[in-house]
Chains A and B, each alone.
Chain A
Amino acid sequence: MNEDVSAFRRELKENLVDWLQLMDKTADDIKDDEPLFKEGLGLDSLDAVEIVILMQRKYGIPQSEVENKREIFATFATLADFIMANRTK
């Protein structure tokens, strides 16, 4: 994995813990290939709504580009890769 990708993933994990105010997880608990929802990180549908809003606010990715694209949220790695490839800020 190149350094940019790995640094961004680290940053995004810390941001997710901070933005979502996850109390039961630290950045280290978020595994790259673990599902974000249910049995993985345990996020729910309202968390998904928040992540979509935060992607727009923090990375300039319009909500319309994300809606109904469940594959983006498959794992932490798919989410991180999508943000890296599509961020405008």
Chain B
Amino acid sequence: MSRAGISGMGVVSALGDGVAATASALYAPPATPPRAPRRFATELELPVFEIPEPDAEPGTGLPLRFLLHALDAALAEAKLALPELRDKRVGIAVGTTVACQLDDLECHDRLRKGDVSDLAPVYSYVTRLPAEYLRRRLGTTGPAVTVSNACASGADALMIALEWLRTGRCDLAIAGGCDSVSKVAFNGFNALRVCSATPCRPFDAERSGLNLGDAAGVLILEDPASAARRGVEVEYELAGAGKTADGFHITQPESSGRELERAIRIALRQAELFPDAVEFVNAHGTGTLVNDRVESAVLARVFGDKVRYQSTKALTGHTLGAAGAIEAGFTKLMLAARRAAPSRRCEHPAPEVPTPPLAASVAIPGNAAVSTSLAFGGSNTALAIRKCRGSVPDLGLKPLYIGGFSALSPGAPEREELAALCRKYALRRPDRLTQLALAATEPLADNLGGDGENTALITVTACGPAATTCRVINDILDYPEEEILPTGFSHSVINAAASYLSAAHQIHGPTFALVGFEDPFREAADLARTLLSAEVCRRVLIVAADEDGMIPRAVETLRTDGFPAAAEGACALLLAADPAENRLGTLEFADDPADESRSLLCGIPKSLAAMLETAGPASRSTLRRLRPAAWHLPEGSHF
């Protein structure tokens, strides 16, 4: 049982490299406006915030290199060397969007022509998902999850770390986010018509959209007492997190902001803060018409018309999966400096914004602040950071009851069956992965019980919406001088299925889209136990799904462990902490690795499915670890 004290921080963005540079640039920003991308050719005249690249590491993509750079700084500030880390139970949570999808256009073009002579990018993709890669590189053994909840990913990674610490699941957590401006995201956001052709102006009357940006941020979280033993004084803690789902639309926030408001209030309650104790809010503030309108209205509702807030995205751009992590870092730096920074480039606050953002920096007497993140798919996250409390309530891990399990049988449902489900839930154009997830969940629909605010959703996948991603990349390759199809892009984000499922089943609790190749299904079940034990929700629906496609097939050719997975399928598992929801007995965890087949790339052990088919309320099912997948880089491939 620990508080999540912030003992180390690493951050790199357009505001600067490192904590010192960032802290001063918040008040005196560098005069470097965003400019057209330099890293890839494009016809689109849209400014972005690119930053200098760290030293090259063969086979390692840019987001992960930014992350490693920030991690080194964070570990140094926390005075942590590798041997000390390996003595602790370390949890690793990383948010990203770009680093968990294979978006190498040249590789993609080769694969679609049947050329498999160089599979190095595919090998990098499966072996360098950020959280799994860090766990291997650091040699730690605790939980590791890569969460891809679009623009809230970085904040969500911090929330996961907080809940691990609150429930004693780990002693120390490394949590953050990373992303870089990629051609796919750049074309995709342009297709969605949310990019500004000029430097972005959050909350301004003339705002016309966002600018993308590069960044990574890492926080080391641990109990202040444990950091003190290394001579590290911890002043601030991540004290609360609230996460909710609109269950409304895949790209638009619900216009009342009701669920964002609920997320903020949950974070405040967990952090034991009244709204008037919050000195300022680092807002999501992307500069799009809808975000800024809905968000500013909610901030005024929760904190009153004197609310002090700023968006730092005018200085960093929207750094997607990194945004929530770096902005939590900025929030802590402003608290430590006892000064809230101004919101830049808001010269004429929009009339629909009830209280304008801070026009100048202001001294703050108090010790607490909030950072908000709003993502695609109506996923809202609020983090509360405050001066460390003396103690926090003690929570332990609770037993897990299985409220239902369902798996698609081989051959998957027919199109007509899927179409009937789409009509039933009024989903017009869901992508294939969503359809599979929806079909797997359907037998559990009645067990979900209508308590949407207290239900969490965790989706799990290895390759995500693989066929949709291919369509988006084909679009970029085949029509280099044209816009791409916007819905293709919005369906290629990893959390599209979570967004549709939350809308279909009116799930308004936390939603996490996890990505992994090393037992992510088990990580999801483990996270469900943490969320239920922390009383963040009353039940968790886990939906694991993978779809067939060129990329998953290429991935399978690299496998050397003899456990090929089915190309396509989905399953759903409903877990609860309340014995009244026990239908299939308890779920327990065993740490010895199992040498056994998995039924999907994202790793559902076949034994679990078999066990649950015959389980009843008195059953005890055990989820064993899968032996880590082994991958081979074929001859001829090179980084």
Contact = CB atoms under 8 A, between A and B. Distances in A.
B427 A23 contact: yes
Nearest to B484: A53
Interface stretch (B330-338, B416-424, B609-617): B416-424
Given A46-B487, A50-B485, A57-B479, A22 B193 contact: no
Interface string B425-436: 011111100010
A23 B419 contact: yes
B426 A53 contact: no
A50 B487 contact: yes
B435 A24 contact: no
A22 B486 contact: no
Nearest to A57: B479
Given A24-B428, A57-B479, A46 B423 contact: no
Given A23-B418, A23-B419, A23-B435, A53 B485 contact: yes
A53 B490 CA distance: 16
B483 interface: yes
* Size band of the interface chain A makes with B: 10 to 19
Contact of A23 (B422, B482, B490): B422
A20 interface: yes
A22 B485 contact: no
A23 B420 CA distance: 8
Interface in A25-76: 25-26, 42, 46-47, 49-50, 53-54, 56-57
Contacts of B426: 24
A50 B423 CA distance: 22
B446 to A, nearest CB: 22
A2 interface: no
B492 to A, nearest CB: 13
Contacts of A46: 192, 251, 486-487, 490
Contacts of A25: 428
B191 A22 contact: no
A56 B485 CA distance: 12
A24 B483 CA distance: 26
Among A20, A22, A26, A53, find the residue whose CB has the most chain B CB atoms closer than 10 A: A53
A23 B193 contact: no
Given A42-B428, A46-B192, A49-B191, A24 B419 contact: yes
Contacts of A20: 429, 487
B15 to A, nearest CB: 33
Contacts of B486: 46, 49-50
Contact of B427 (A24, A49, A57): A24
A24 B422 contact: yes
B422 A49 contact: no
Contacts of B431: 21
A41 B101 CA distance: 33
Contacts of A42: 428
A53 B484 CA distance: 8
Most chain B Cβ neighbours within 10 Å, of A23, A25, A46: A23
A46 to B, nearest CB: 5
A15 to B, nearest CB: 14
A24 B423 contact: yes
A53 B487 CA distance: 12
A22 B430 CA distance: 8
A54 to B, nearest CB: 8
Contacts of A21: 429, 431
Contacts of A26: 419
A47 B490 CA distance: 12
A26 B423 CA distance: 11
Contacts of B430: 23
Contacts of B427: 23-24
A3 to B, nearest CB: 30
A47 to B, nearest CB: 7
21 contacts: A23-B418, A23-B419, A23-B422, A23-B423, A23-B429, A23-B430, A23-B435, A24-B422, A24-B423, A24-B426, A24-B428, A25-B428, A46-B251, A46-B486, A46-B487, A46-B490, A47-B487, A49-B191, A49-B483, A49-B486, A53-B485
Interface of A: 20-26, 42, 46-47, 49-50, 53-54, 56-57
Interface of B: 191-193, 251, 418-419, 422-423, 426-431, 435, 479, 482-483, 485-487, 490
The 5 closest A-B pairs by CB, nearest first: A23-B422, A24-B423, A46-B486, A24-B422, A50-B485
